[in-house]
């Protein structure tokens, strides 16, 4: 049986129990106090703090947790956070609380609730001594305002970056007095042609043109001291181009350091435009004054607002002195507008008007024109009034009409000469055939010789006509004009011994390319006319020299550029009046009595010189003599020595194809050729010539080819026969001269040319020259 405890033992137990109870109470009190302190601390936090059990239910939540959703804290206990904050029936994807349960490690993430608020969520595991998870403490901080501020800052930075990079101007952040480039946009380096990497290594003085390093430092200091600075400078691009730049700077501070934010605006084009406007104004002023017509600006009362230099000069006044005067007073010396004044008409109709007036005070005939001046809004502001001197142009117009008339007569003369030469050819051919076997004792021998002389006279006449028609060159080659003049003067001097001939011939005279016979005809004609103008006795001066087109300014014609040779023939004769000078080159015009002149001499001279690409002038006054000036293009070719050709008839053998559309020439030509020993085939035009040549090409040694024929002319016939046989021998024959188409054919490798009418020996020699050519 157990022993009963003693009183002392019972008292000790009671005391022990009381002590333990007191200790437990103290512990409970401390725990309660600790819980109160913990709750007070958690409730005072700005973050949401929630403790979750293993079923994800909220066991405890602080005051802020309830306030964040408008509920009492007690209402949160037992609920799931995803139900309260996210209105979901299951945890949110990526929830850090769930991840904390799964990993046993603290987790964090940003979460957005359906109301748009953003939360920073952290999950902390609560573990026992064995590291087993008992629950999770969730700490949540609302960061909506911070996120919005961050987004606003990011948007602001993006906008600034977009503005910075896409600005039309260069934007540069400059640091230090040396002009170091701290930051810059793409435009800054791209405008100067550098890459970003190249530009980062540069300082402003490296591409600055007019600013030194010291001046760059001065501008930096001014910006820092004053806050801003604006100036213009020049930058050099990587390629070396200089660009005008307007610089605007302002001081900024970044983390206590001062910098200059600089905006560079390229004003090169603007500067050029401004300079262009200034230049345009100057150009307009210069242009206005350079206008050779008289130009005035007038108001509605006929008063002069402005005039150009030409007007002032024509009116023998200054430009300033004319301003304010009425135009009819200044120009016409009248107290009222003249009867034909175009300004009066323009003021009535507001249309431009032009009239022709003769103003003795200005010395000629003028086109007077007036036009209204209207501003951009259609308001009438004044009138332009111009006077164009047409005195010279009217004279040139009359001269041009005369030239056209002469050209028409020349064309007619050329056609007549061609046909006449064909007729003479028939006469000459028959005379040659009759004289071939006739000795000088025959009763008709002298008559036939007289026929030949008359044919020669007729040929000279047609030569004049062809010369006038500019179809007079027969054989063009380099000619020494001095030698030609010497020979003509020597011959002429024997016949006109009462005339004193003086010569001044340039030693270094350029050669000319000409038909020496035609130029001789021109010079001889001038000498004869000069002698006729000095009956009894007189002096004749001939001078040659080298000139250029610049020495021929002020003439009625516009010479082609280049070197020329000029021959002047001056006499001391009776001279000519104005009416005679205006007609001296007209065909058939002569001042000589009946029977002493044909009126073709100077007309043919005019045509010959024109046909050689030259010009002929005349200066004369009644009783003071006359000077003719002949300008001929100079040549770089050397003068060739003249080789005299034998005069006898050269016989031959072989077959000749004779092509001509004139029956009489075919007949007489065939007889002439057969008399020389040739076999002759004939064709009356180009088509027939080609057919005959195709059939007999192996037999035909030479073709005597007329130029002007119906159906197919000589030029086309030559080209087609040349295709059949590139080595064909062709002698051209024409009543026209070697000019024009004949020259073109000769330049296409044709072998020779003979002018109608020709004698038998001339034809035989021409054929022989062609056949013997390599």
**Where are the domains positioned within the chain?**
47-147, 167-271, 291-389, 477-633, 655-772
**Lookup result for tokens 């600055």:** 208
Prediction pTM value:
0.36
- Residue 597 pLDDT > 50: no
Mean pLDDT of 197-204: 84
- Residue 652 pLDDT > 90: no
Domains 167-271 and 291-389 fall in the same CATH topology: yes
DSSP bridge pairs for 369? 354, 386
Please give the structure tokens belonging to residue 292: 């050779």
Treating both helix axes as pointing N-terminal to C-terminal, what angle do 445-468 and 601-611 enclose, rounded to 10 degrees? 60
- Residue 544 pLDDT > 90: yes
Please give the structure tokens belonging to residue 382: 């004044």
The CATH code of domain 655-772 reads: 3.40.50.2300
Mean pLDDT of 316-322: 88
Among the ranges given (200-204, 317-321, 402-406, 685-689), the one the predictor scored with the smallest mean pLDDT: 402-406
Output the pLDDT for position 150.
74
With 0-12 / 13-18 / 19 or more C-beta atoms within 10 angstroms meaning exposed / middle / buried, residue 345 is middle
Output the pLDDT for position 424.
67
3-state helix vs strand vs coil in the chain, percent to 5? 45, 25, 30
Strands 626-633 and 655-659: unpaired
- Residue 676 pLDDT > 50: yes
The CATH code of domain 477-633 reads: 3.30.565.10
- Residue 510 pLDDT > 90: yes
Q: Which residue has the higher pLDDT, 555 or 526?
A: 526
- The runs of H, that is alpha helices, within 45-80 are 63-69, 73-76
In this prediction, residue 589 has a pLDDT band, given cuts at 50, 70 and 90, of: very low
Output the pLDDT for position 274.
81
Measured at the CA of 81, the angle between CA 79 and CA 85, to 5 degrees, comes to: 115
Mean pLDDT of 75-99: 86
- Residue 518 pLDDT > 90: no
Among the ranges given (162-166, 383-387, 487-491), the one the predictor scored with the smallest mean pLDDT: 162-166
Mean pLDDT of 464-476: 51
In this prediction, residue 426 has a pLDDT band, given cuts at 50, 70 and 90, of: low
Output the pLDDT for position 470.
45
**CA pseudo-torsion sign 198, 201, 204, 206:** negative
Output the pLDDT for position 39.
65
Among the ranges given (424-428, 504-508, 649-653), the one the predictor scored with the smallest mean pLDDT: 424-428
Output the pLDDT for position 28.
63
Query: Are 536 and 524 a contacting pair, CB within 8 Å?
Result: no
**CA pseudo-torsion sign 306, 309, 312, 318:** positive
Which homologous superfamily is 291-389 in? PAS domain (3.30.450.20)
Task: Write the CB contacts of 546 (distance below 8 Å, at least 6 apart in sequence).
Answer: 506, 508, 509, 510, 563, 564, 565, 566, 634
- How many helices (H) and strands (E) the chain has is answered by 26, 27
Task: Write the CB contacts of 282 (distance below 8 Å, at least 6 apart in sequence).
Answer: none
The CATH code of domain 167-271 reads: 3.30.450.20
Among the ranges given (213-217, 624-628, 768-772), the one the predictor scored with the smallest mean pLDDT: 213-217
DSSP bridge pairs for 386? 295, 369
Which homologous superfamily is 47-147 in? PAS domain (3.30.450.20)
Query: Are 369 and 342 a contacting pair, CB within 8 Å?
Result: yes
Among the ranges given (74-83, 348-357, 434-443), the one the predictor scored with the smallest mean pLDDT: 434-443
Share of the chain above pLDDT 70, in %: 80
In this prediction, residue 268 has a pLDDT band, given cuts at 50, 70 and 90, of: confident
Output the pLDDT for position 738.
63
């Amino acid at each position: 049986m157990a022993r009963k405890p003693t009183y002392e033992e019972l008292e000790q137990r009671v005391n022990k129990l009381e002590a333990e109870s007191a200790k437990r109470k103290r512990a409970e009190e401390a725990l309660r106090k600790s819980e109160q302190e913990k709750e007070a601390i958690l409730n005072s936090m700005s973050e949401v703090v929630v403790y979750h059990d293993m079923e994800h239910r909220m066991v405890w939540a602080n005051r802020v947790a309830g306030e964040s959703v408008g509920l009492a804290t007690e209402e949160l206990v037992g609920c799931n956070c995803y139900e309260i904050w996210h209105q979901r029936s299951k945890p949110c994807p990526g929830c850090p609380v769930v991840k904390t349960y799964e990993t046993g490690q603290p987790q964090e993430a940003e979460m957005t609730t359906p109301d748009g608020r953003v939360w920073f969520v952290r999950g902390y595991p609560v573990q026992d001594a064995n590291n087993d998870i008992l629950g999770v403490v969730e700490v949540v901080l609302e960061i909506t305002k911070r996120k919005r501020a961050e987004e606003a800052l990011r948007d602001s930075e993006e906008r600034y970056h977009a503005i910075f990079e896409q600005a039309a101007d260069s934007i540069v952040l400059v640091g230090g007095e040396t002009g170091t480039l701290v930051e810059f946009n793409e435009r800054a380096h791209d405008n100067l042609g550098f890459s970003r990497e190249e530009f980062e290594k540069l300082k402003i003085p490296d591409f600055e043109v007019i600013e030194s390093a010291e001046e760059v430092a001065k501008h930096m200091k001014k910006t820092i001291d004053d806050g801003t600075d604006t100036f213009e400078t020049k930058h050099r691009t990587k390629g070396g181009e200089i660009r005008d730049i307007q610089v605007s700077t302002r001081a900024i501070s970044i983390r206590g350091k001062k910098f200059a934010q600089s905006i560079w605006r390229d004003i090169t084009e603007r500067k050029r435009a401004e300079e262009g406007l200034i230049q345009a104004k100057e150009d307009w002023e210069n242009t206005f004054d350079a206008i050779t017509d008289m130009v005035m600006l007038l108001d509605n009362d006929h008063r002069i607002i402005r005039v150009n230099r030409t007007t002032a000069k024509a009116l023998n006044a200054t430009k300033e002195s004319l301003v304010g005067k009425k135009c009819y007073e200044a120009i016409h010396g009248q107290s009222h507008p003249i009867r034909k004044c175009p300004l009066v008409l323009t003021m009535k109709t507001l249309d431009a008007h032009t009239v022709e007036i003769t103003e003795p005070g200005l010395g000629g005939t003028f086109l007077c024109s007036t036009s209204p001046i209207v501003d951009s809004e259609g308001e009438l502001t004044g009138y332009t009034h111009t006077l164009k001197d047409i005195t010279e142009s009217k004279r040139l117009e009359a001269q041009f009409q005369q030239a056209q008339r002469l050209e028409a007569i020349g064309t007619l003369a050329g056609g007549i000469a061609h046909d006449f030469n064909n007729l003479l050819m028939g006469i000459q051919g028959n005379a040659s055939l009759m004289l071939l076997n006739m000795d000088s004792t025959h009763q008709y021998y002298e008559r036939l010789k007289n026929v030949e002389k008359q044919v020669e006279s007729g040929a000279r006449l047609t030569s004049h006509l062809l010369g006038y028609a500019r179809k007079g060159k027969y054989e063009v080659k380099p000619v020494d004009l001095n030698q030609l003049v010497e020979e003509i003067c020597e011959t002429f001097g024997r016949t006109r011994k009462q005339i004193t001939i003086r010569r001044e011939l340039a030693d270094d005279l350029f050669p000319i390319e000409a038909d020496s016979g035609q130029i001789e005809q021109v010079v001889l004609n001038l000498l004869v006319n000069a002698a006729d103008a000095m009956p009894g006795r007189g002096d004749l001066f001939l001078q040659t020299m080298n000139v250029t087109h610049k020495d021929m300014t002020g003439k009625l014609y516009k010479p082609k550029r280049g070197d020329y040779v000029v021959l002047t023939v001056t006499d001391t004769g009776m001279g000519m009046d104005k009416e005679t000078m205006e007609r001296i080159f007209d065909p058939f015009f002569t001042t000589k009595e009946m029977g002493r002149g044909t009126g073709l001499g100077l007309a043919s001279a005019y045509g010959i010189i024109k046909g050689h690409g030259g010009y002929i002038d005349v200066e004369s006054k009644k009783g003071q003599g006359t000077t003719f000036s002949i300008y001929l293009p100079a040549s770089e070719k050397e003068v060739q020595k003249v080789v005299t050709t034998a005069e006898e008839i050269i016989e031959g053998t072989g077959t000749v194809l004779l092509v001509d559309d004139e029956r009489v020439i075919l007949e007489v030509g065939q007889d002439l050729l057969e008399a020389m020993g040739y076999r002759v085939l004939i064709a009356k035009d180009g088509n027939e010539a080609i057919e005959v040549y195709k059939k007999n090409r192996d037999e035909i040694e030479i073709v005597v080819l007329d130029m002007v024929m119906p159906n197919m002319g000589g030029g086309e016939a030559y080209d087609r026969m040349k295709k059949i046989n590139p080595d064909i021998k062709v002698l051209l024959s024409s009543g026209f001269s070697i000019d024009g188409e004949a020259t073109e054919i000769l330049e296409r490798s044709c072998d020779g040319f003979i002018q109608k009418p020709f004698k038998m020996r001339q034809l035989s020699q021409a054929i022989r020259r062609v056949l013997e050519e390599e």
